[in-house]
A = this chain, B = another copy of it.
Amino acid sequence: MRMTRQRREILAVLSRTRSHPSAEEVLRQVRTTLPRVSLGSVYRNLKTLREAGLVREIVTAEGRRYDAVTAPHPHFVCERCSRVFDLARPLPPRALRRALPQGFAVSQIHLELRGTCSECGSQP
């Protein structure tokens, strides 16, 4: 994998935030440093970085978000402000495995909680 300026910058943007930006938001951030980057390159690089295990894609009802923290951890999606929060990893996988039919092999666990974050909850 060739480390182009675009690729490096996309990775840097994702590494320095915990806000789980969309591809469009990554583009905006990257353009503050490299103004001529195209949206196509952002998508291509997000895919390449994902395949290299450096970036994780989070699919929610609100769209696809990207995360440089690839260790498995659950997310909380606020249904009012659409922000995505990281949660600590709370899952005893034993309980899950017990629910699996014979012959099913798990490679990933996506756990997403939805609701209202503390900030939105304190507003009327």
Contacts and interface: CB of A to CB of B under 8 A. Distances in A.
A115 to B, nearest CB: 4
B103 A79 contact: no
Most B-side CB within 10 Å, residue of A105, A107, A109: A105
Contact of A113 (B89, B103, B106): B106
Given A59-B61, A105-B121, A122-B103, A90 B95 contact: yes
A61 B100 CA distance: 21
Q: Which DSSP category, helix, strand, loop or mixed, fits chain A's interface?
A: mixed
How many copies of this kind of chain does the complex include? 2
Contacts of A95: 90-92
Interface in A95-119: 95-96, 98-119
Contact of A114 (B74, B90, B107, B119): B107
Counting chain A residues whose Cβ lies within 8 A of the other chain, the interface size class is 35 or more
Interface of A: 57, 59-61, 74, 76, 79, 85, 87-92, 95-96, 98-119, 121-122
